[in-house]
A and B are shown apart, each in its own frame.
Chain A
Amino acid sequence: MTAYTGRIAATRRGRTVGSRIAAGLAYPLGLPILLLVLWGVVATRATSTFFPDPLTIAEAFRQTWVGPAFVEDVLPSLTRLGLGIAASIVVGIAAGTVIGLTQWLRDLLEPLLEFLRAIPPPVLIPVAMLLLGITDTMKVVVIVSGAVWPILLNTIEGVRGTDSVMKETARSFQVSWWERLWFLVLPAASPRIMAGVRQALSVALILMVISEMFASSSGLGYRIAYFQRNYLIAEMWSGILLLGLVGVFLAVAFGLVERRVLRWYHGIREVNRV
């Protein structure tokens, strides 16, 4: 008897959890699925070869990217992207902290930084090719040349904006330079820094593709450009799909890190909202 009621309770709980998950997925996935269906309907009716239906693209995706191409094209791209993002973060935060903490350096560099930031990084690709050759280093440099600016400028602003009472507190307790950097300056700037990193991620992805389209024999950008030139339309679309997925993955990974790093920041905002 008791076992029986227990089982009922279990199934009921299971169902509510299941329906909750279903409801949680319905909203984020609903519109993409609807669009895919719509695309499928339109594509089967249209005669244009440039818009294959989703099933053809899915098949092309499997054939193109699952297998050796993943190692030959996707992994090198992702490696360069990862290196570029990592270098941008390290250089951006390190240089931004030094500049943000040093008044005269800021006055000296700020106009120059504004100028450099305004240069669209793709125009640097020929220059980088000339100086560094058609190498991985060149592509990473191109990614950094664009992705470093939002991090650098946000770090400068964040470091400069450290609260005066917080600084005075550290001074009155004779907190050492390194401790001040680690426990005050960087955490205080972290909301700005993270905002910069978020922008940098999308810039880095764009530059990864562009740097490979110019001069390369491997990589996602190279592959997509190759498919375009050879009228492999479904394969081209599958490459674009893969880029979108990489972007989504970056955003999700960033969201996880951000929630951890800025837990205090979101906590304060929640407290203030109540």
Chain B
Amino acid sequence: MSDRRTLLRVEHLRKVYESATGDVEAIGDISFTMDAGELICVVGPSGCGKTTLLKCLAGLLRPTSGVVEMDGAPVTGPSPAMAVVFQEYGRSLYPWLTVRGNVELPLRHKKLTRAARSRLVVDALEAVGLAHAARSHPWQLSGGMQQRVAIARAIAYQPDVLIMDEPFAAVDAQTRADLEDLVRELHASRSISVVFVTHDIDESVYLGQRVLVLSTSPTWVQEDLAIDLPPERDQITTRALPRFTQLRTHVYDQIQRAKRGQAVAP
């Protein structure tokens, strides 16, 4: 994390869904930047357009106005510099492919030798602790393991930014804690930048170096909060720190204010 170059720049992003029954303004005006190597969590009240924001970042949705820039170049569509981990792992992994086949699929169009491709797949599966399950099918695995496969698929793709959309919302609490530590570990060991969208306040504070608190729809960034917890974190001691409690209470208050509509637009 020595270089502090800006990797992702979002400026005055606005997204309006047009429909026959009337336009819905999902995102009002979002601006923020992310440095290379950062881990940012995005939290907000439910229905605040978190997923919309993420799809705009990933190039899956065209913003109505505003700019998303990746490494100085505007994002106009999906790019090899980004990989998405979706919330619904059951619908994001292909059940007819093995774990290995799923991780390998996005690599097929990259100009790689068979051996290089295979190395990436094995390495990614080892990184998420699933080397032994390469020949299984996703539906033979537990929910937590399936989400690990999705994470392996994303890191094998070797993106600069990992974009995660409430990835652990559907797994049980203990699995979730393990997966959170896995994300922190991958972030630290592979110098991947991560944008992590969640509705879980504790999760955002535990994981993030920064937390962006979003307002209700039409959305803007209500607060950009630096998380000054030590870089070495673990589930028991970090969550027991007084500072952790202060931060989570602060974020919680912010979201309550957002829900009541008391927050002020910038």
Contacts and interface: CB of A to CB of B under 8 A. Distances in A.
The answer to whether A and B come from one shared complex is yes
Given A169-B92, A175-B105, A264 B139 contact: yes
Given A173-B105, A271-B140, A183 B94 contact: yes
A166 B91 contact: yes
B19 to A, nearest CB: 17
B9 interface: no
Q: DSSP class of A's interface residues: helix, strand, loop or mixed?
A: helix
B202 interface: no
A173 B157 CA distance: 8
Instruction: Give the residue among B58, B78, B96, B137 with the most A Cβ atoms within 10 A.
Output: B96
A169 B84 contact: yes
A264 B95 CA distance: 6
Interface residues of A, number: 22
Contacts of B91: 163, 165-166
A179 B105 contact: yes
A267 B139 contact: yes
B60 A175 contact: no
A267 B97 CA distance: 12
Interface in B83-112: 83-84, 86, 88, 91-92, 94-97, 101, 105-106, 108-109
Nearest to B106: A173
A93 to B, nearest CB: 16
A184 B59 CA distance: 21
Contacts of B58: 172
A165 B153 CA distance: 15
Contacts of B129: none
Interface in A220-274: 264-265, 267-268, 271
A166 B95 CA distance: 10
Given A165-B88, A264-B137, A175 B96 contact: no
Contacts of A179: 105, 108-109
A174 interface: yes
B231 interface: no
Nearest to A262: B96
A7 B108 CA distance: 56
A172 B83 contact: yes
Instruction: Give the residue among A163, A165, A187 with the most B Cβ atoms within 10 A.
Output: A165
A168 B93 CA distance: 11
Given A183-B97, A271-B140, A168 B86 contact: yes
A175 B84 contact: no
A190 interface: yes
Instruction: Give the residue among A163, A166, A173, A176 with the most B Cβ atoms within 10 A.
Output: A173
Contacts of A271: 139-140
A15 interface: no
B261 interface: no
A13 interface: no
A158 to B, nearest CB: 13
Contacts of B47: none
Contacts of B106: 173-175
A174 B82 CA distance: 10
Interface string A174-194: 111001000110011010000
Contacts of A171: 60, 78
A175 B108 contact: yes
Contacts of B74: none
Nearest to A269: B139
Given A163-B91, A267-B139, A172 B78 contact: yes
Contacts of A174: 78-80, 106, 109
A176 B109 CA distance: 7
A267 B141 CA distance: 12
A172 B83 CA distance: 7
Instruction: Give the residue among A165, A169, A174 with the most B Cβ atoms within 10 A.
Output: A169
Given A168-B60, A190-B96, A267-B140, 6 more contacts: A172-B58, A172-B83, A172-B84, A173-B105, A176-B109, A183-B105
Interface of B: 58-60, 78-80, 82-84, 86, 88, 91-92, 94-97, 101, 105-106, 108-109, 137, 139-140, 153, 157
5 contacts: A173-B78, A173-B83, A175-B109, A179-B109, A184-B94
